[in-house]
Amino acid sequence: MDPIADALLKQVRQELGYKEKSGQTTKFGQWYADRVQDTQYRDAPWCDMFIAWAADKAGLSPYVGQFAWTPSHAAWFIKQGAWTQRPEPGALVFFDWRGGKNYKGIDHVGIVESVEGKKIHTIEANVDRVWLKRKVRETDKVVGYGLPRVVKASADKAAEIRSTERPFVPAPRTDVRQHSPLDVLGTPPALLVAMVLMTVALSLRVSGRRRGTHRRFTWPWNAPTPTPPAPTRVRVGATPRTDDTPPTRTSSSRKPGVRGAEPGDTPPPRGGKAAARV
């Protein structure tokens, strides 16, 4: 027999003959209510809470499950891939008293103790209204069977896979180029600095425009102080020359050796001949 089935059956056999107390209370319902911290389970139907209690005592809760509502318990086995239509000792058997085959219509659950032909021998809680006892059942009301051993096998396999897993280490990339100092120019701070410098340069160019002409920037300079002209020296007896008086030109038609009239000479008398010079 499967070790899980054997351990579970040993635990439930110890409770054969148990009878619920007044007010439909049981020690199994009290245990479950304390575990989930909900008092309504103290006097609730206890067929599934008994199995949860027995599995906990045997240390088999991860493989048997802990439920109070039988459809949820069946759905748990289905999800674990541990659902079958073939009975075996230690399997949980789920019933629908109306003969349905959908897990949502399940009404009751027990534990298969043995299989005899088309009949199954079970241990069930909350049967005949108040008892925990053995029953012999036909399979026409059975919806299916949950197998704790399959749940354990799946859990062991998953644990083995996890223990042999190695962390994935990605291979180094060969298409990544080496970094260059020029890469800094493509960074956001460098782009921001470039934009600021361009803005300043454009501002200087615009400020130098005047009447449609482009003026170059020049440094300011101090113009030299003009030097006053030297005073003009005038000879005695000569008429001072001004810029408005044209200069007197000496006729070039005079004979050689004869000088022209000079300022201050006495003009000759009208109508007479000039006195001969001695």
Helix axes 70-80, 148-164, angle to 10 degrees: 40
Residue 214: its pLDDT value, please?
Answer: 47
Let me know if residue 100 belongs to a domain: yes
Residue 272 lies inside a defined structural domain of this protein: no
pLDDT reading at 239 higher than 50: yes
Using CA atoms, how far apart are residues 70 and 51, in angstroms rounded to an integer?
11
Alpha carbons within 13 A on the beta-carbon side of 265 = 9
In a domain? residue 29: yes
pLDDT computed for residue 196 by the predictor: 80
CATH number for position 40: 3.90.1720
Residue 168 lies in a domain: no
135 assigned to some structural domain: yes
Give the model's pLDDT for residue 255. Answer: 46
pLDDT for 163 beyond 90:
no
Q: What percent of the chain has pLDDT over 90?
A: 54
**pLDDT confidence tier of residue 157, bands split at 50, 70 and 90:** confident
Residue 26 has pLDDT above 50, yes or no: yes
pLDDT at 67: 98
What's the pLDDT band for 250 if we cut at 50, 70, 90? very low
Average pLDDT for 106-111: 98
Confidence at 177, pLDDT banded by 50, 70, 90 = low
Domain tally for the chain? 1
Mean pLDDT, rounded, for 201-223: 57
pLDDT (mean) for 84-107: 98
- How much is the pLDDT for 272? 46
The answer to whether residue 37 sits within a structural domain is: yes
Residue 238 lies in a domain: no
Q: Which domain holds residue 40?
A: 3-157
Of 133, 101, 138, 100, the closest CA to residue 117 belongs to: 138
Q: CA torsion sign, 112 to 114 to 120 to 123?
A: negative
Note the pTM of the prediction, 2 decimals: 0.59
Binned at pLDDT 50, 70 and 90, residue 129 comes out as confident
Q: Assess if residue 64 is contained within a domain.
A: yes
Return the minimum-mean-pLDDT range out of 124-128, 188-192, 202-206.
202-206
φ, ψ of residue 160 in degrees (nearest 5): -65, -40
> Higher model confidence: residue 227 or residue 140?
140
Whole-angstrom Cα distance, residue 56 to residue 6?
15
